[in-house]
Structure 1
Amino acid sequence: MFKNFIKISWRKIKSDKTFSFINILGLSIGLTITLLLFMFVMKEKSFDTMYANKDRIYRVIFHTTDQRNNEIWATVPAALKPEAQMEIPDIEKSSRLWDHDFGKTASIEANNEQFSEPKLYYTDPEFFQIFQLNFVYGSSNKQLERPNTVVLSKSTAKKFFGETNPIGQTLSIDNKRKMEVTGVYEDFPSNSSLDGNVIASFRSIGFYKEPSWSNASFETYFLLNKNADVGSVTQKMQDLVDNNVPKEDQWYSLALQPLEKMHLYSSEIKSAYSSKIGSIEEVRNFSLLALLILLIACINYMNLATARSQKSMKDVGINKTLGASNRVLILRFFTETGFVTLIAILLAFIFTVLAIPVFEGVVGTSLSLNFLWSFQFIVAILGIWVITTLIAGSFPALHLSRFSPIEVMQSGKTRESFSANLRKGLVIAQFSASVILIISTIVIYNQLEFMRNKNLGYNPDNTIAVSIAAINSDSERETLINQFESLPEVSAASMAQGYPGISVSGRSLFKNINSDDAISLQTNRAQGGITEVLHLKLLAGKDLPKNKQSEDSIVDVLLNKKAVDFLGISPQEVIGKNIIANLGPNAYVVGVVDDFNFSSLRSPIGAYAFNNGFEPLRYMLIRFESNDLPATLEKFKDKFKDVVPTSAFDYTFLDKNVEQMYALEQRTAKVSLIFAGLAIFVACLGLFGLAAFMAEQRTKEIGVRKVLGASVSGITKLLSKDFVKLVLIALVIAFPVAYWIAENWLQEFAYRIEVNWQIFVFAGIIAVFIAFITVSFQAIKAAVSNPINSLRKE
């Protein structure tokens, strides 16, 4: 029986190639999008699942009080690890992780060559026992127990030393510290939140000897015992804070985050070391998008099957007259649908393989082809096949099989009211979903444009930050900045601890010495000229002095307006005032700059202070004008190498760093734009099918009207107006839903666009225009046909 059903299905496909092509194409496109998005979602959900003890590994997270704006950090004090390991029996192993020089790129000399390494971390020996990395050279059990030892990832070892065994070789880090290579480990997988290329012994740095409870700059991981109570461990951590930190200094509390939730549930957590932070909201949105497009594709099948139902009616009637039961007919229709869906899935599989490189470029992550052959993916494919078959085949199977032979044999007359209303409802659902996608895409695009064009309060264009962490003497730094300033392309230069867009030092600004009222203050050590380099607007006072004597104990401070507003005085009045901000007893305000967005537009502007205190100067900021960027960069590199020949030339464009802050939104916008377009195309295929059905149903009417003198435009209008009405109904349904979705998404941003009526008008015009063009094709085709042919059929 099944064999006959498949033969019948194949004959039907061959007998009506146009509709079969459209049907299979619509399904295959919808399934391709579903498979691609499913691969992305599964990749995101697979993060950190490769570690054997993943269910017992936790990262300690840091909750600040109102004094620090109720933020959540991924870093905690260095003193927690040794105290917790000793005092909390539920902890089997613990390890700290410190990003080199608080997140700055390291300059490494290896094998007489210079390299820039952004992923250098310092950790405790227990790190390798918690995460159980596989070692190519050396043993994971005895690594980093000695100070000044380091292990390398396999790819990094090859980059530094070629194919030779690097154990025993020496690295020079920032021209300050010599490190012995003691092991090589397999590269971290692409779906691991941990991604270090060089891992050095924590015992090599001063934080190991003098761990503090005040400097929260260290990611800390616990491997808990199998029967450990997470709530109990959390309480015991807080007890350690109470025992070691005075109440007046307790501006934070500690909690535990499961390793398995690190990737998708850390978008609101600050100071995380991983560059691969996902979003559970994005996963949910992409899952919903996949479901919507799959439903649209299934609706297409139902509409197109209905459009050809006239040809199936007599077939059903004959089969019923010959004794076929409803069960057999239902099985037949589901078999036909399953056969078509199987063809569409095979095509979708091919399209998916071809589209993966393009999709990877859009989402900015790698998707392994091996995943297509995994058991999980095969089960998912079978599930999609079954679900698609049940959804897409439900209408023809359940609707066409229920009619009696008399109903279907009497000139094809059937009880069409239900099916007609169902088809119209499906078209409304399709275009409602399409309009929601259109509006969502427009809102995302407009928000990105708003962020791209918003006046940030400083100008990141034509400005680079050159790493000078490897320069150890003031004279070399002064020589280098003088060399840069001598270039005609350079208009301004300054040295700083950091720049807008990256983390600097976190402190608290108090209203006065006797007050507990404070706000979080970001402090950035800088030299004079910083306002000129960043194009900051000076509201009062002056810039920081260009030079400062080493014995000078006064710290000059340049506050932003937000900080001054908190102090409750005007910019002019604050000049010369001594401020309480953990910058020393002699911190005096010399100037006030207007507010600027030093972090993402998701957050409101906070208090910020440039100062010439005592943190290390890690960057040289250079503003330049050039019509030949590669040549200008080459000049910068030459000047750098003249002064620091033993260090790698590492630089960052400030405007590129700003763009990187919105990488998630850019990815969402690209995916939404591409797949919204494809969803609309698929929806139009369904509309095309319904238009074909309606034209087929009204063949005689069209013939009579033409004989009586009706024009082509009149008939086209007659056939099109009903569909335009359906689209207008879809707009009424889609607009409030789209508005709700857009408003919820925009709430994540402190600075955002308003969802105005023009967006809805534009989306509505696009939807109506697309629908009219799609329907008009069939309407015009029916209108220009010879009426004799249409009347002869009757």
Structure 2
Amino acid sequence: MFNNNLKIAWRSLRTNRLFSGINILGLSLGLAITIVLFLFISYERSFDTEYEQKKDIFRVLVHTDESYDKQVLCTAPAAVAPALKTDIPTVKKAARILRHGFGETAFVKVGNTNFLEKELYWCDPELFEIFNIQIVEGKSYKALERPNTVALSQSTAKKYFGGENPIGKTILVDNEDHLEVIGVFKDFASNSSISYNAIGSFSSTFAYKEPSWGNSSFETYVQLEPNASVATTEMQMQTVLDKNVDKAGQWFSFSLQPLEKVHLFSAGYVNSYSNNIGDIAEIRNLTFLALLILLIACVNYMNLMTAKSQKRTKDVGINKTLGASSKSLVVRFYAETGLVTFISLLIGIGISALLIPAFNAITGQELQISLLLRVEMLLGLGLFWLITSLVAGSYPAFYLSRSSPKAVLNTGTNSGKGVITLRKGLVVLQFAASVVLIVAVTVINQQLQFMQQQKLGYEPENTIAVTTGGIRGAAIKQTLVEEFKSLSSVSDVAMAQGFPGISVSGRMLFKNENDESGLQLSTNHSDAEVIELLKLKLLAGKTLPLVKQEGDTLIEVVLNKKAIDYLGYSPKEAIGKNVLIGGFGNKARITGIVDDFNYESLHRPIGAYAFHNFRSEAKSFVLMRVKSADLTETLNQLKSTFESVISDAAFEYVFLDKNMERLYAQERKTAFMGLIFCVLAIFVACLGLFGLAAYTAEQRKKEIGVRKVLGASVLGIAQMLSKDFLKLVLVAVTIAFPMAYWLMTKWLQDFAYRVDLGWTVFALAGILALFIALFTVSFQAISAALANPVKSLRTE
């Protein structure tokens, strides 16, 4: 009996190849998307699950006050970890992590070979205990208590030393620190929030002997005692803060973030050391869309099966007249549905395997095709097939099988209006979702173009920043600058601590000594030429002095307009005024005012900024404006010049405009993923509309035949059939516009500078939806209008 049902199902598929192909294609796409998304969600939720004490591990978060825009920092002051461990009994272990050079690339020299190392961190030894970091070679991690020691990951040790034993050997960092290799640890998993190539001893850093409560630059993890109360511990952390910092100086408070939330619940936080930050909102949205597309595909199957029902009613009626039970017919229809969904599942798995590399390239993930062969995945796919078969086959199986023989053999019997209304409602929802996606994709792309075309207040094009972190000695740096200036392909050169697009030092700007709140000020130690090099607009005064004499204690600053607006000066009034800046005292004098410029992402409004010549921070970059005739040749010249001056450091550079584009990588990924889902949702919605059009044409074929006999034209019949469907799309557009407006208004609120939601976006989405619907329906309408009326009327 089972084999017989399969044979009948296979014959039905072959007989109705168009409908079967559409069914299989729609279900295959829905299943493929869901499979890929399931793998993605599983991977994202697997972060940090390999650590034994994961339930007791927390990251210390710092919540700033209004003067720092109420930001949430993933880094804490250096004094926090030892204070928490000493004063709070529930804190079992605590460890600080400092990114080398506050995020700068480390220049590592091993023998005569130079390396660039982006993942060097200075950590307390207890980090190894908290995360069970496995030492595979060398001494215990406790050897990191000694200054000038380092542990390397297995892959890094192999890169530095090849097949040699690295234990006891020395690496030179930034031509200054000789670090003894005391151990090799197992590489971190790709789904770990912490992932380091080299771990140096924290006792080697400036913050070890005199840890501060002010510089919040140290990612801090604590391990609590089992079953310790997190809320109680956080209250005790506030007591520790009150003990060490006066209330007037408390610009922050603490909280504990569970390790299981570090990856997915840190979007929007500042200063995270993790190179792979997820977003729980993105996962939820993608999951909803994938399931929605799968559900629509199942609904389309029911619509298409219903469209075929008129041809199958006599078959069902004859079988029931000859004694077939409703149960046997249910089994028969489910056999057909199961066969369709099984074929769709196999094709869907194949499509998902092809999609995984592209998905990895878009999202930056590391999903493996081999994950599809895991036992739990295969069991999940089997369950998936069963549920999809039950949902997709429910309507045709029960609706057709339960009809009486008289009803199904009576050609004048019409389907219930409620069923038709339901199908029309589903089509409306499908196209409403499609219109929302069209609006969303359009607005996201408009915002991306707006950000790319936005006048930033400076000119990042053809400007290169070369890292000088490995160069020791001002004389050598100056020699390098002079050599760069001598190149014909270079027009401007200046040294600076940083540049727009990366963070520099944070200080506070005060109106006067009575100003208790202050304003956050980004300060950049730089040469005088930086103003001209970046093409900043000088509103008043002049740039920094070209030469600063030794022993000169006066600090010259060039402020942006945002800063002097806070001080209450006009640009001309500000020139020559002394200004109170945290860490500078009353020794800072304003020499120039530049117009505001976007030194951060357009997500944030322009803040106060200062260029200065106080020798508090190193100038870590040489900035150059180059001629764009032949950038490849220019880069080769720059590299040769660098290596001729500096033989013991590697050449590293970045284009300022490319660095700014990096700030919007998430938006580009969202736009691309949105485009893919938009196309797929529209395609699947069109399948539903095609199914409903086919059903309507099937129901009205005798009416069409009569109209053609009475002289109706093909165009007139096509218009008659298409008119009702266009009404459905208009209803969908009416529903979609308010929803799309609300969603995109909310999304745009994350940008300080954003496009306006004009009517053209919605008009474009509506016209596009109508055009797609008309194109989809007209195919079936014209086909019905061209049919021979004799075939539809001969049974009357």
* TM-score, normalisation: structure 1: 0.97
Tell me what 1:426 maps to. 426
Opposite residue 685 of structure 2, the aligned amino acid is A
What is the CA–CA distance in structure 2 between the aligned matches of 1:334 and 1:753, rounded to whole Å?
A: 51
What is the CA-CA distance between 1:440 and the residue it aligns to? Answer: 0.9
What is the CA–CA distance in structure 2 between the aligned matches of 1:133 and 1:100, rounded to whole Å?
A: 20
What is the CA-CA distance between 1:23 and the residue it aligns to? Answer: 0.5
What is the CA-CA distance between 1:393 and the residue it aligns to? Answer: 2.1
Opposite residue 598 of structure 2, the aligned amino acid is N
Tell me what 2:631 maps to. 629
Tell me what 2:372 maps to. 372
Tell me what 2:650 maps to. 648
| Contact map agreement 1:91 1:224 (CA 8 A) in 2 | yes
- Aligned to 1:781, the other structure's residue is in SS state helix
What is the CA–CA distance in structure 2 between the aligned matches of 1:278 and 1:578, rounded to whole Å?
A: 45
| Contact map agreement 2:77 2:213 (CA 8 A) in 1 | yes
What is the CA–CA distance in structure 2 between the aligned matches of 1:755 and 1:2, rounded to whole Å?
A: 58
Opposite residue 642 of structure 1, the aligned amino acid is S
What is the CA-CA distance between 1:327 and the residue it aligns to? Answer: 4.5
Tell me what 1:585 maps to. 586
What is the CA–CA distance in structure 2 between the aligned matches of 1:70 and 1:275, rounded to whole Å?
A: 23
- Aligned to 1:147, the other structure's residue is in SS state coil
- Aligned to 1:206, the other structure's residue is in SS state coil
What is the CA–CA distance in structure 1 between the aligned matches of 2:54 and 2:312, rounded to whole Å?
A: 56
Q: How does 1:294-373 map to 2 (within 5 A)?
A: 294-373=294-373
Is the counterpart of residue 707 in structure 1 residue 705 in structure 2? no
Opposite residue 150 of structure 1, the aligned amino acid is V
| Contact map agreement 1:271 1:503 (CA 8 A) in 2 | no
Segments of 5+ residues of structure 2 without an aligned counterpart are none
Tell me what 1:594 maps to. 595
Q: Deviations over 1:153-210 (max 9, x none)?
A: 2222222222333222221100010111222222222211112111111111221122
Tell me what 2:504 maps to. 504
Tell me what 1:11 maps to. 11
What is the CA–CA distance in structure 2 between the aligned matches of 1:139 and 1:701, rounded to whole Å?
A: 89
What is the CA–CA distance in structure 2 between the aligned matches of 1:723 and 1:129, rounded to whole Å?
A: 65
Moved more, 682-691 or 53-62: 682-691
* TM-score, normalisation: structure 2: 0.97
Q: Deviations over 1:266-289 (max 9, x none)?
A: 112111111211111111111121
Is the counterpart of residue 780 in structure 1 residue 794 in structure 2? no
Opposite residue 134 of structure 1, the aligned amino acid is Q
What is the CA–CA distance in structure 2 between the aligned matches of 1:550 and 1:329, rounded to whole Å?
A: 97
Opposite residue 712 of structure 1, the aligned amino acid is V
What is the CA–CA distance in structure 2 between the aligned matches of 1:678 and 1:459, rounded to whole Å?
A: 39
Opposite residue 548 of structure 2, the aligned amino acid is K
What is the CA-CA distance between 1:383 and the residue it aligns to? Answer: 4.2
Moved more, 696-705 or 665-674: 696-705
Tell me what 1:520 maps to. 520
Q: How does 1:248-267 map to 2 (within 5 A)?
A: 248-267=248-267
| Contact map agreement 1:133 1:140 (CA 8 A) in 2 | no
Opposite residue 595 of structure 1, the aligned amino acid is D
Q: Deviations over 1:19-42 (max 9, x none)?
A: 111100111011111222222222
Opposite residue 639 of structure 2, the aligned amino acid is K
- Percent of aligned pairs with the same amino acid: 53
| Contact map agreement 2:559 2:611 (CA 8 A) in 1 | yes
Change over 3 Å in CA distance of 1:482–1:141 after alignment to 2: closer
Is the counterpart of residue 439 in structure 1 residue 439 in structure 2? yes
Change over 3 Å in CA distance of 1:379–1:56 after alignment to 2: farther
- Aligned to 1:384, the other structure's residue is in SS state helix
Tell me what 1:610 maps to. 611
Change over 3 Å in CA distance of 1:245–1:779 after alignment to 2: same
What is the CA-CA distance between 1:379 and the residue it aligns to? Answer: 4.6
Opposite residue 682 of structure 2, the aligned amino acid is I
Tell me what 1:63 maps to. 63
What is the CA–CA distance in structure 1 between the aligned matches of 2:755 and 2:377, rounded to whole Å?
A: 40
What is the CA-CA distance between 1:412 and the residue it aligns to? Answer: 6.1
- Aligned to 1:460, the other structure's residue is in SS state coil
Tell me what 1:207 maps to. 207
Is the counterpart of residue 170 in structure 1 residue 164 in structure 2? no
What is the CA–CA distance in structure 2 between the aligned matches of 1:312 and 1:665, rounded to whole Å?
A: 50
What is the CA-CA distance between 1:371 and the residue it aligns to? Answer: 2.4
- Aligned to 2:211, the other structure's residue is in SS state coil
Is the counterpart of residue 681 in structure 1 residue 683 in structure 2? yes
| Contact map agreement 2:141 2:183 (CA 8 A) in 1 | no
Change over 3 Å in CA distance of 1:774–1:480 after alignment to 2: same
Is the counterpart of residue 480 in structure 1 residue 480 in structure 2? yes
Segments of 5+ residues of structure 1 without an aligned counterpart are none
Match of 1:638 among 622, 637, 640: 640
| Contact map agreement 1:172 1:178 (CA 8 A) in 2 | yes
Tell me what 2:529 maps to. 529
What is the CA-CA distance between 1:409 and the residue it aligns to? Answer: 1.0
What is the CA-CA distance between 1:435 and the residue it aligns to? Answer: 1.1
Q: Deviations over 1:63-107 (max 9, x none)?
A: 111122211111111111122222222112111100001111111
- Aligned to 1:494, the other structure's residue is in SS state strand
What is the CA–CA distance in structure 2 between the aligned matches of 1:628 and 1:758, rounded to whole Å?
A: 41
What is the CA–CA distance in structure 2 between the aligned matches of 1:216 and 1:698, rounded to whole Å?
A: 73
What is the CA–CA distance in structure 2 between the aligned matches of 1:532 and 1:677, rounded to whole Å?
A: 47
Q: Deviations over 1:595-646 (max 9, x none)?
A: 1111111111111111111211111111112222111111111111111110
What is the CA-CA distance between 1:700 and the residue it aligns to? Answer: 2.4
Q: How does 1:45-194 map to 2 (within 5 A)?
A: 45-138=45-138, 141-194=141-194
Match of 1:738 among 734, 740, 764: 740
What is the CA–CA distance in structure 1 between the aligned matches of 2:743 and 2:401, rounded to whole Å?
A: 40
What is the CA–CA distance in structure 1 between the aligned matches of 2:306 and 2:313, rounded to whole Å?
A: 10
- Aligned to 1:579, the other structure's residue is in SS state strand
Tell me what 1:558 maps to. 558
Opposite residue 690 of structure 1, the aligned amino acid is L
What is the CA-CA distance between 1:143 and the residue it aligns to? Answer: 4.6
What is the CA–CA distance in structure 1 between the aligned matches of 2:42 and 2:687, rounded to whole Å?
A: 29
| Contact map agreement 1:102 1:217 (CA 8 A) in 2 | yes
| Contact map agreement 2:508 2:518 (CA 8 A) in 1 | yes
What is the CA-CA distance between 1:4 and the residue it aligns to? Answer: 4.1
Q: Deviations over 1:493-524 (max 9, x none)?
A: 21111111211111111110122131111111
What is the CA–CA distance in structure 2 between the aligned matches of 1:734 and 1:321, rounded to whole Å?
A: 47
- Aligned to 2:402, the other structure's residue is in SS state coil
What is the CA–CA distance in structure 2 between the aligned matches of 1:103 and 1:793, rounded to whole Å?
A: 81
What is the CA–CA distance in structure 2 between the aligned matches of 1:72 and 1:550, rounded to whole Å?
A: 40
What is the CA–CA distance in structure 2 between the aligned matches of 1:687 and 1:202, rounded to whole Å?
A: 64
What is the CA-CA distance between 1:701 and the residue it aligns to? Answer: 2.5
Match of 1:716 among 700, 718, 725: 718
| Contact map agreement 2:65 2:71 (CA 8 A) in 1 | yes
What is the CA–CA distance in structure 2 between the aligned matches of 1:325 and 1:778, rounded to whole Å?
A: 35
What is the CA-CA distance between 1:137 and the residue it aligns to? Answer: 2.0
Tell me what 1:235 maps to. 235
| Contact map agreement 2:135 2:141 (CA 8 A) in 1 | no
Opposite residue 401 of structure 1, the aligned amino acid is S
Change over 3 Å in CA distance of 1:140–1:365 after alignment to 2: farther
Moved more, 32-41 or 378-387: 378-387
- Aligned to 1:314, the other structure's residue is in SS state helix
What is the CA–CA distance in structure 2 between the aligned matches of 1:376 and 1:50, rounded to whole Å?
A: 18
Moved more, 213-222 or 187-196: 187-196
Q: Deviations over 1:511-543 (max 9, x none)?
A: 101221311111111111111122211111111
- How many residue pairs get aligned? The number is 794
What is the CA–CA distance in structure 2 between the aligned matches of 1:737 and 1:514, rounded to whole Å?
A: 49
What is the CA-CA distance between 1:247 and the residue it aligns to? Answer: 2.3
